[in-house]
Structure formats: structure tokens, C-alpha cells
Structure 1
Amino acid sequence: MRRAPWIRLLLWHASAAIPVLGAAAAFYGPALARTGGAWPAPLDDVYIHFGFARAAALGHPFSWIPGNGYSSGGTSLTYPLALAPGYLLGFRGAWLGLFAALLACAALLDLCRSLRRLLEPRGGPGAASSRWVAWVAPLFVVAVPLLDWSWFSGMEVALLGAVLGRALVAVRRAELAPPARRPAEQLRAGLLVALLVATRPEALALAAPLAVAVAHAAGSLGAAASLARASLPTALLLGAQAAANRALTGEWGAAGAVRKLLLSNPYPTPLEKAVEVIKNLAALRVQALEGALGGPWLSLVLPLLGAVAALDRRARRVAVPLLLGAYGSLLLVALNATARYQNLRYAAPSLAMLLLAAALGAEALARRGRLAAGVAAALAVAALAAPSAGFARQIDHFARASANIAGQHVEVARRLAARARQPRAPRRVLLGDAGAIPYLSGIPAIDGLGLGGYRGMPFARASVHGVPAVVELIERLDPAERPDVFALYPSWWGGLADVFGRRVDAVKIDDNVICAADEKVIYEADWSALAPPGERRAGVIDEVDIADLVDERAHGYAFPSPRGGWVIGAVLPGGGDGAGGDGAPRFDAGRLIPEGREQSFTIDAAAAIARGPAVLALRTDGGGPIALGVAALRDAGGEARVEAPERPADRWSEIRVPLRDVMPGDRIRIRSLLGTFRSFHVWLLRP
């Protein structure tokens, strides 16, 4: 007796819920046991999303912490907005993770529903022999333990899966819609593709092929107009995001791209960067595309089924973009300096795309008749069973990582919260990309790595250049704004924690599998070596504070890159006027200018100077004899050579160079003719 459609649908939803909820329980159960009942989060980045969600719920969207201003460091624009209702409903503190878990399960069930719609037979020969594929579709979603780790981590991956499923369905609807409805369906597909990119930027590798697929199915509507409807929403999103970033942070790119992409590092050569990309690709291929899928041979089953879908007339307009997106996003991820870490979470979108393409391939093959259906079933069983050996290891890793985060980051937050109830309560904490500490302690924070954003200051780029460049930005802050407490990994912050901090507490964990180091240290800050904001040396016409990225940008400063211009820092006596006499120790950051290389800057066009002679004062520290060539590039008088003897290492020194003819807007070039010049500060003085 044939079941009614609603009964079949109810049974299908029950059959989908079992593997999704079962996988969730398999990961959350052991993790809860390890954390002692606190909701598990295997990555501290989860709490960064929670911080953005809390700020959005409190009326500060796209801010990490209310009061810090706009931040482009949230890797997902949409996920914090999806979490914000949970905060408003009362899921506060770590228990926002429970709401995130419920959201993840709902998102995965929604992905299963989308996949069922893609797999449902559309009639014709072979429809009966392929009907079973829609029933096993949920198994494709949760078949890979490495992907499940990310699905249930509390990150945006599950939401990405739901949006991905709906975008694919929208592309299919645009393909099948009658001409009168097709433009609206194409635009709907374009909006969902844009939402996909807003949820995870690497999805751009899938967005372009999906837009082309929509245009390919345009029929009588015309390919150009169809391509515009499918791609314009994504283009507008990226344009608006870039414009907002530029206006509010001074960077076209997001803080995460500035901080993490290998291309942003100014020091390595292109060849050295290419080598790192190749290393990332090799690690992702071996660990994510082979090891996580069952080994070198069994891992080929998924792409094989995907290739079957790509060759199938009905499935190819969805399958081809999925395959291109899977490998294209992996190429984009390989540009990320952290691609090989955090349990390969950046590979999760690629794995999801491969699994969906494989499910489409199984349906396409099964549609070819009974024999082909048997082959499809065998391949599907192989694809689903091959990764299963990794479940025990991934579940254990999830639990141990959650215990690490609870034992270190959450514990540091608890201790800082306790200090906040004391008479000398911390007013602001300096940390490095640590989300749980400010979120759970309630103490405002500055992220020294720049992903949290702080009033448009370029902390992300400064952290790439070096720790002293971060200190230069802190020097720009009003003393009342400067962090008075640090929560840092000492090995990450040499030259800051050990110079400006006094160790007062530490949290050390055992069995570390996810944290950057096993010990996070709490320091009390001492910024007495920093110059007061706005301090200006007497007689100065213009000055360039080397390694202060704000000042460098204002003067069009250029340093020798690559393999030069490395940021350095020192705290030495010598007086605040740069004269090199006695005085309290003063911090300054600078750059190394190798022999034969040069630095240059432009005199401020608004500098109060008439055309004529001036004196260039160059701050440096100790070292051997050096020779410099200094020239005002407009001046036809050529380059002036100045030599400096060996200098003491225990104080600041100054080299003075007379300039015959300079004016505002002139470009000044300083070449290192002999030895490496340690350049810290440049003053243009009246003669």
C-alpha cells in the first residue's frame, strides 16, 4: 500500500534528524564531560563570534566590543547576526554556545532538506531506481568526522551549509523556471549566492561558477542579463564591504585578510610565499582530502561521484560549480598562513561541497538503471564508510580541545573578572585574537593582532610588521585608554610582555591540542617608557616616526621590501628630544635598512617651512660604523654622504644631515651605503 506524501515526508524528516542529532550528541557528550558541564567550544574563535553577536544584540553591529568601533575582523558577516537573537532570548555567557548548537542542528537539517530537493527524481526512466539516494542524503552531510568537528564547533560552518543548500536549490529553480518567472528566480539565486559569500569569504570560489551556471541556463532571456542578475548582488556586497573597510579602517581588505594572508606579509620574497602556499596545499590535500576521507584510494570515491554528476545533463549545472568551488576555495585557503592549523577547519567548506557533489553523482548514476543503481549504491557505501574510522579520533579531539579552551581562555576570563571586583579593577585588557577573555570577563579589550578592531587603527597590519609596530599604535592612545592588563602568550609577544608588563598570574594547561601555547600569562602594564601623545620636539618642521604605520602612511613612507625593513624596537635613555643626552628611558620602534637598500618619505605638504635649507636628524641606536646617502630628490645637488662612527649600545644616538634646498612635498631618500642602518625616527629641523 502506497504511503501518503505527508507520511513519506514525515518519515524522511525523522530519518534525517537521527544522523544529525546522533552526530551532535556524539561530539557534545564527551566534550561536556571534559569541560565539567560548561558548554564546549573547541576553538576560542567561537567566542569572537559570540562577542560580535553580543555587540549586535546591544545595537552595535559589526563591532567586536561596544565602544571599540567598526571591525572588519569578523570572518562571517551573517553568523553573528544569526546568533544575536539567542543573546536577546537569554542565552548569555558560554550558554550562547547552546543556542549555537541548536542553530547548527537546525542548519544541517535545512541542508539535508535542500539536498533532498536536489535529489528528488523528476520523472522519466530510472526515477524509481534513484529514489533511495534522497533517503540516504543526510548520511552524506555527516559522513566525514573532520567536517562534523567543524559543523558542531560553534563556528559559522553549519550556517554556511544551510545557505549553500538553499543557493543550490535556487540555481536549480532558476534553471527549471518558465521564462516569465526565470528573471525573479535568477535574482533570488544571486541574492543567496551573495549571502553565501557574506557567511564565509572563501565561498567566492563557488559564487562565480554558480553565477555562470545561472547564465548558462538563461535560455531566451540572454546570458548577459542573466549573469548580471546572478552575480551583481555578490559584486555589490563585496564593493560595499570594501568601501566600508576603506572608510572606517583605511584598508580595502578585511582585517582577517590583512593579518592572515601570506600576501600581506611584506618581508618574504614572492618565491618564499609561493613555497608556503605549496606547503599549505600539500597539507590540505594529504590531511583533508585524503586522510579525512579514508586514505589515498578511498578518498577518490567522492570526486569520482562528483565527476559523474558533472557529466550528467540534469545535474551538471549544480555539480560543476560544486567541484570548481571545492577545489577553488581550497586554493584560496592555501593563501592563509593558518590554513594548516585549528584542525583544518578552513577545509570544511571544500569537504561539504565535495559531499554534495558526490550525492548528486550517486543519484545521476542510479538513474541509469538497476545495474548502474547497484554500482551507485556500492560507491555511496564506500564514500560514506571510508571516513568512519576517524570518528573516534575527531570526537576525542573535539573533547580535548574544548577542555583546553575551558581550562585556559575561560579560566583567564574568570580570573580577570575576579580582579574586576577588586579596588584596582582592570579598565582594558590587551590580548591577541582571544575571544573568551573579554566576552566572559566583561572587561573591554584591544586585540593586538587587530581582528577585533579599535577605532580604525591599523592593528592588524601592524601585527604583521612586528610587535614594536603594535606598541607604536598603543603609544598613540591617550594614557587613560591604554590597556592596563595583558593576557598574552609570552612567546608571541616578545618585546611587549617582557618590556612593558609585570607578570602577576598565569594559567597553564596539560594535554594541549588547540591553544597556541600551554600557558597564558596575565601581566600588569607599565607604559612609562612611551611618549605622551602629541609630544613634539622643539624646532621640528616635520617628523616621521618609523614603524608607526599611521605616521608612515601620512608621509608615504617606503621601506625596502622584501627582505628588508624588518621592524625592531628598543627602550633606551637619551631624552625625549632625540638629542642623545641623558634622560629617562624612552621606547621607539624602527626598521632595519640593509646595506645597499633605501627608505624614503615625503615631507608633509602642510609643513611650516619655506623653501630653503634644513637639517635632517636621524635617530638610531648602537652599532658599528655606517655610511648613509641622503638626497632630496627634487634637488639637483645630488646625494649627500654622511658617515657615523661606532655608537654606544646603551643609549639613543642621532645623525644629523644638512639639506641644502627642501620644501613641503619633497621626497627624501635615505640610502644605506655601508652597514645596516637601524632607523628609528626622522626629524626635519630648522637650520
Structure 2
Amino acid sequence: MRRPPRTRLLLWHATAALPVLGAAAAFYGPALARTGGVWPAPLDDVYIHFGFARAAALGHPLSWIPGNGYSSGGTSLIYPLALAPGYLLGFRGPWLGLFAALLACAALLDLCSSLRRLLEPRGPGAATARWVAWVAPLFVVAVPLLDWSWFSGMEVALLGAVLGRALVAVRRAELAPPWRRPAEQRRAGLLAALLVATRPEAVALAAPLAVAVAHAAGSLSAAAALARASLPTALLLAAQAAANRAFTGEWGAAGAVRKLVLSNPYPTPLEKAVEVLKNLTALRVQALEAALGGPSVALILPLLGLVAALDRRTRRLAVPLLIGAYGSLLLVALNTTARFQNLRYAAPALAMLLVAAALGTEALARRGRLAAGVAAALAVAALAAPSAWFARQIDHFARSSANIAGQQVEVARRLGARAPRPRRVLLGDAGAIPYLSGMPAIDGLGLGGYRGMPFARASVHGVPAVVELIERLDAAERPDVFALYPSWWGGLADVFGRRVDAVKIEDNVMCAADEKVIYEADWSALAPPGERREGALDAVDIADLVDERAHGYAFAAPRGGWVVGAVLRDDGGAPRFDAGRLIPEGREQSFAAGVAARGPAVLALRTDGGGPIALGVAVGRPAEDEVRVEVPERPADRWSEIRVPLREVAPGDLVRIRSLQGTFRSFHVWLLRP
């Protein structure tokens, strides 16, 4: 690709900066006015990135908070590393957001520069298409919904820069002479992997880009080209999965465990499919129609992308972009939060669609003066149609930033000012609170990670399962304050917390609730860590996911095994918490016995109050040998225990407990000496 004259290049950069910096000012200016001078962040997730960046700058990469250990909960592997130099340069507290804003503007200008290189016409028709490169920056900032994400402080702008460079690399691999083509193919592969490291759903683009590189191999081996272009992404995904497994026990990242529809054990496959369809419908209507100006004009962008896909010069870029755009939306639809946070998960798809449309505009303009006129008309219509949403998106950005500053930032300030200083705060996926207060924290939703414990998985199963993990911690390690939304944490905040403060905001458009409450913790109802019952050969603490995993525990799912929790009196009259699962009538739970040797035992089952039920118990034998156990009505204010003599239990035997009549509320299981 030839370089244009220096003067024309400088002029192009000057004109490209105008729409990018103008859009940035349009969003940041009103938001700063609303936040009272706190650098605007319309999402609390921005501060989660800041936490990862601070940890990286302090020598703890891939940790949310130094001391918490490895975390797979960051939505971007490389964005915190890009922010870390800002922290080292002195951009601390909310002002790391200013560095993020500068980085976003630089990334968008870099995307514009990549587009210029891709759109510079060559060969026949160059004269009628030269104007397209000059309007390329307008494609970048034309959609207000996308601009909201570009300037949010999230990783989307960095993704745009990497996207542009990856496309340029694919074009270079296509045009390079044979002796240079392998190096260009490897470069394209590395940048494709960098796309996935920036946003995981970009794998929907990385894969077809690798195929495009192989298709353009020419006289070289297509298989070798495909390997060069795809191997970096494959190695990245394999390394990430291996690290997740080694440090967290999960192959997937914490965000996938917590947010993907497929991770929820309770709904049926049909119910999960319905949820995905709801997400797809919302994304299509709100992000691919309304945000682009309405159903009639929203088709112009994919139509221009189709023109690029049909053009011989641009199809190797346009086809992957279209596949990547719609493929990423399919992946995003698996996310339970896809419809929320101003559709930020649709931003990568919109970016890919706009780039494909820019390529289509250039491809059409090369067809002659008449075609160039049609291309100009379509481009004007496509770029002008979304403009009606600018005022609304700018206002939403400002209001969202005011929400985060008024609630999350204020809670951080109040916690930081408490005396004596709290030891550790329990929160739910909140970034500003630990980052700005400088306080150690445990994220109850699991995205922050804490010493390999499965908080993300537990939060999907239910709040009492999160409490079971806290019970595993030493008393001095347990959080002594909470900063939670009460409606999200029923059974924890109201049971183990005493309300001492709260921050309530008006005009809430972004926070999960208008009030965030600060509690002082009281964990006196929890068992001491490592507590062991006298005479126990083995024990399974139901709903403690660590214990369940160690025993190969299985429960009736879907539509069963729901986690519940209670604080009832034990045999000594003291209140004691335990979590358990509901086993519906006709369903069963099972576990592998961890006894040391074969022999007789007594199966002890903890349950709470309720009416008469009947259970069936079998140990390593066919169902017809099942022992039926009649359980009478139990008092509601204390724990009850069901005892079943077992003739013989061997190490690894499968112990099956079936609910024959009524729903069995199973909280704890012991195998005791007879």
C-alpha cells in the first residue's frame, strides 16, 4: 500500500481529529458538569479495569486487588495493562479515567488511520473513490450508542484500534510478495489473538480472519497460512483456559461462569433458549435497528457491507467483518446482562458493521461516477440517520456518570473515612469501592477472584452458597463490613449485617438499585473453619461448592437443587447457619463416600422444620435395594437430624438419597461410626 504525500497525510490527520475530539468533548463535557468534577465513568465496571490496572502497576498482573490472587474476572486481558502506565505516571483515583479518555481518543484516531489505509483507492476507479478515505472518521463516530461505549472508559476503543490494525495486517498478507507473505500472515495472526485478548467475543472475527489469510495464500500453502493466522489465538485461549483451571478450578473465565445463561443449573434447556432469544431480539431491535436510525435506514449499513463482500478487492475483509459482527452478537446473547448497561456488549458488533460499510462505500464508489453518487447518498443516509440519538445518548452518559459518582464513589469515600478502618469489605461486582477506598475486598459475585475460591459459581447457585465460602475463611479474614444492594443479597445482608449507613441517589439510570447500604458484619452464626464432628467418617456440607466438588456431589437439575439457607438453633441452643438444597419429590442427590475403609456406618442427614416426608437411601446397590425412611414432622425453630443405619460403605461408594414423598430440604450429610 503506497503512502500518500506528506502534506495530504497531515491534512487528513487534522480533519480526522475534528470529529473524534469533538465527539469526546460532547460526551465528557456534560458528564463532568453532572459529576461535580469527578472524572466521568458511566459504568462501575470501568473502576474494575482500574483495579486490575493498579494491581498490574504494583506488580500483581491478573489480580483485581493485590493479595486476592489470580482473577479471571477481567473482561479484557490487555486493557488493564494499557492503563497501568497511566497509574505509574500519576493518574491516580478517578483521574485514571482521564488517562483512559486520552487512550480512547488515541485508539480511535489509530482506527481512523487504519481505515484510511484500507480505503485508499488503487487501480481502476481510484479517482471516483478517493473521497471515501476522507470521510472514514465519520463512520467511526456516527453512531451515538457506539460513541457512548467508545468514551466510557471501557476497553471498546482499544478494541477498535486493534481491529483496524488486524484488518490492515490481513490486507498486507494478501498483497505481500511470496517471500514476505509468511511474516505478514504471522503478524495478522498475532493481531487477531490480540483482538480476542481485548474482548473474548472477538473470537467470532478472529476465526474468519484466519480463513481469509489462508484464502489469500496464493502460491504458498493454504494450510500453513491458516496455521500461522490461527495458532496465536488458539494458544491464547488454551493458555487462558489452563490458567483458569489451575488457579480457579474452572476452565472458563469467572465472567463466563457468572454471566452466561448456560452456567445456570436450574432452568431447563428450553428456558435457557428462550432467554437467549430475548437477548437476541433486544440486541437486534435496540442496537441494530433503533440505534442506527430505525428499521428502514438500519439496513443501509449491512447492505454496504454486503457490497464489500461481493467486491473482489474487499471481500477478504468484509466477509469476516460481517461474520464477526453477527457472530459476536450470537455469543453476546448468551450473556444474561446483554440487554443492560446501555447495550455495551453490542459495541464490538457495531464497530465491525461500520468498518464493513466503509469498505462497501469505497467498493461501490470505484464503479464510476454514477455509482460513486449512489455510494455517497447511501453513506450520508447511513451516517445521518443515527444522529437523532446524540442528545439522548450524551444525556444518558452524563446521568450514568452522575449515578456512579453519587453512589459508588460516595460509598468508597465513606468507607475510607470510617474509623477504625474496616478490615475487608464484601461487595458485589463493585469496582469503585475497593479501588477508591484502597480497602481489601471480596467480590461476592466472584468476578474479582479470591484465592481460587469459586465465588462466581456459588453466586449463580445462590446467596447461601456464597455464605458457605465465607464460612471457610478464618474469622480474621472474613469481611467486617458490607457494601451491598439489599435486594440482591437477601439472606446475607439482612441475616449477617447490621445497617449503619446508606447512599441513595435520585434519577437512577445505571446502578442496580438507587440505594447502596453499608452494613457491619456479624458472622457469629457461622461454624468455625475446619470444624469436624466427633465420630464422623466423612461429611458433605451441602451447597458448599468446594465440599460438593470434592465428593462428586450431584443434585437434581434442572428444576431442582435450588440453594437455600437458614439460621436455626443447634443441639446446644446456639444459632447456627447452614445452606442446603431442595430435592423435589421423585428426584435425588448423590455423593461419593470419602470413608477410609469398608465397614458399617450411620448416615446422618441435617434438615430443617416441616411436615412429614419419606426418603429412599441406597449405597452402591441397585434401586430395588433402596431403604425407605419415614421422617415425621419437625420443629421449625431448630435443626433436625435423620439417621439411617448402613450395613456397609466402601471408599468411593455412591450414596444416593431420593425424595420419595414431599420436598427434602438437605443441608448437611455425615457418615458416622455406628
TM-score for both structures, normalised by structure 1: 0.97
Q: AA paired with 1:559?
A: F
Structure 1 segment 238-387 matched on structure 2, within 5 A: 238-387=237-386
Letter in 1 for 2:157: A
Q: Which residue of 2 aligns with 1:539?
A: 535
Matched, 1:665 2:661: no
- Structure 1 segments of 4+ aligned residues over 4 angstroms from their partners: 634-637
SS for the counterpart of 2:625 is: coil
- Residue 100 of structure 2 corresponds to residue 100 of structure 1: yes
Closer, same or farther: CA 106–636 of 1 in aligned 2, 3 Å: closer
**Corresponding residue for residue 390 of structure 2:** 391
CA contact (8 A) 1:194 1:234 kept: yes
Where 1:536 maps in the other structure, the secondary structure is coil
Q: Deviations over 1:168-205 (max 9, x none)?
A: 00000001111100000000000000000000001010
Separation of aligned partners in 2, 1:228 and 1:528: 58
Q: Secondary structure at the match of 1:453?
A: coil
Residue type at the aligned position of 2:37:
G
Contact 1:568 1:589 in 2 (8 A): yes
Residues 153-232 of structure 1 mapped to structure 2, 5 A cutoff: 153-232=152-231
Shift of 1:4: 8.4
Q: Could you tell me which residue of structure 2 aligns to residue 684 of structure 1?
A: 671
Q: Secondary structure at the match of 1:327?
A: helix
CA shift digits 1:239-289 (9 cap, x unpaired): 000000000000000000000000000000000000000000000000000
Q: CA deviation at 1:582?
A: 3.4
Q: Which amino acid aligns with 1:341?
A: F
Q: Distance in 2 between matches of 1:386 and 1:358?
A: 14
Does residue 619 (structure 1) correspond to residue 619 (structure 2)? The answer is no
- The correspondence for 1:553, drawn from 549, 552, 572, is 549
- Structure 1 gaps of 5+ residues are 575-580
Find the counterpart in structure 1 of residue 24 from structure 2.
Answer: 24
Whether 2:70 is the aligned partner of 1:70: answer: yes
Could you say which residue in structure 2 is the equivalent of 1:459?
455
3-state DSSP of counterpart to 2:449: coil
The aligned residue for residue 10 of structure 2 is 10
| Residue among 453, 470, 473 paired with 1:477 | 473
| 1:587 and 2:586 aligned | no
What secondary structure is seen at the aligned counterpart in 1 of 2:477?
Answer: coil
- 3-state SS, counterpart of residue 69 of structure 2: coil
Name the count of aligned residue pairs.
672
Matched letter for residue 593 of structure 2: I
SS in 2 for 1:483: coil
CA distance in 2, matches of 1:569, 1:457: 19
Is the partner of 2:475 in helix, strand or coil? coil
- Contact 1:408-1:509 within 8 A present in 2 as well: yes
> In the TM superposition, what is the alpha-carbon distance from 1:664 to its structure 2 partner?
1.0
Cα deviation, 1:347-392, whole Å, max 9, x if unaligned, reads: 0000000000000000000000000000000000001100000000
2:662: which partner in 1? 675
Aligned residue type for 1:375: V
Across the aligned residues of Structure 1 and Structure 2, the Cα RMSD in angstroms comes to 1.0
Instruction: Give the corresponding residue for 1:577.
Output: none
Q: Whole-Å Cα distance in 2 between the matches of residues 658 and 217 of structure 1?
A: 71
Q: Distance in 1 between matches of 2:621 and 2:537?
A: 18
Q: Quick one: which amino acid aligns to residue 673 of structure 1?
A: L
Report the counterpart of residue 578 of structure 1 in structure 2. none
CA distance 1:530–1:125, shift in 2 (3 Å): same
Give the AA of the match of 1:95: W
Cα distance in 1 for residues equivalent to 2:6 and 2:31: 37
Tell me the distance in 2 between the aligned counterparts of 1:373 and 1:64: 51
CA distance in structure 1 between the aligned counterparts of 2:592 and 2:4, rounded to whole angstroms: 78
Give the whole-Å Cα distance in 2 for the aligned partners of 1:612 and 1:394: 69
Q: Provide the TM-score with structure 2 as the length reference.
A: 0.99
Structure 1 counterpart of 2:273, one-letter code: A
Say whether the 8 Å CA contact 1:634–1:666 is kept in structure 2: no
Whole-Å Cα distance in 2 between the matches of residues 114 and 170 of structure 1?
10
**Quick one: structure 1 residues 669 and 7, their matched pair in 2 at CA, closer, same or farther if it must change by over 3 Å?**
same
1:564-598, Cα deviation, whole Å (9 max, x unpaired): 00000000001xxxxxx332000000000000000
Quote the offset at 1:638 in angstroms: 1.4
| Mapping for residues 416-455 of structure 1, pairs under 5 Å | 416-419=415-418, 422=419, 424-455=420-451
Give the secondary-structure state (helix, strand or coil) at the position aligned to 1:641.
strand
Amino acid at match of 2:634: R
Give the match's secondary structure for 1:220: coil
Matches of 1:447 and 1:527 in 2, distance apart? 17
- C-alpha distance in 2 between matches for 1:180 and 1:5: 28
Counterpart in the other structure of 2:39: 39
Quote how far apart the aligned CAs of 1:665 are.
Answer: 0.9
Residue 592 of structure 2, aligned match among 584, 602, 612 = 602
Q: For residue 582 of structure 2, give the secondary structure of its aligned residue in structure 1.
A: strand
Measured after TM superposition, the shift of residue 487 of structure 1 is 0.0
C-alpha deviation, 1:503, in angstroms: 0.0
1:651 and 2:650 aligned: no
Alignment correspondent of 1:85: 85
Q: Work out the CA distance in 1 between the residues paired with 2:244 and 2:4.
A: 54
Per-residue CA deviation, residues 303-326 of structure 1 (Å, 9 max, x unaligned), is 000000000000000000000000
Q: Which runs of 5+ in 2 are unaligned?
A: none
Cross-structure match for 1:128:
127
CA distance in 1, matches of 2:151, 2:124: 39
- Secondary structure at the counterpart of residue 289 of structure 2: helix
Q: How far apart are residue 221 of structure 1 and its match?
A: 1.1
Amino acid at match of 1:220: S
| Letter of the 1:131 counterpart | R
Following TM superposition, by how much is the alpha carbon of 1:637 offset from its aligned partner in structure 2, in angstroms? 8.2
Counterparts of 2:394 and 2:251 in 1: how far apart (Å)? Answer: 39
Distance 2:499 2:372 in 1: 66
Determine whether 1:529 maps to 2:525. yes
For the 8 Å contact 1:635–1:662, the answer to whether it is kept is no
1:402 counterpart = 2:398: no
What residue identity is the alignment partner of 2:111?
A: L
CA contact (8 A) 1:365 1:373 kept: yes
Amino acid at match of 2:650: M
| 1:639 CA drift (Å) | 0.9
Alpha-carbon displacement from aligned partner over 1:88-130 (angstroms, at most 9, x marks no partner): 00000000000000000000000000000000012x2210000
Q: Secondary structure at the match of 2:591?
A: strand
In 1, Cα distance between equivalents of 2:160 and 2:104: 9
Any conservation in 2 of the 1:167–1:193 contact (CA below 8 Å)?
Answer: yes
Contact 1:632–1:666 at 8 Å: present in 2 too? yes
Separation (CA, whole Å) in 1 of partners of 2:445 and 2:623: 44
- C-alpha separation between the residues in 1 aligned to 2:336 and 2:106? 32
State the SS of the aligned residue for 1:661: strand
Contact 1:557 1:602 in 2 (8 A): yes
- What secondary structure does 2:642 align onto? strand
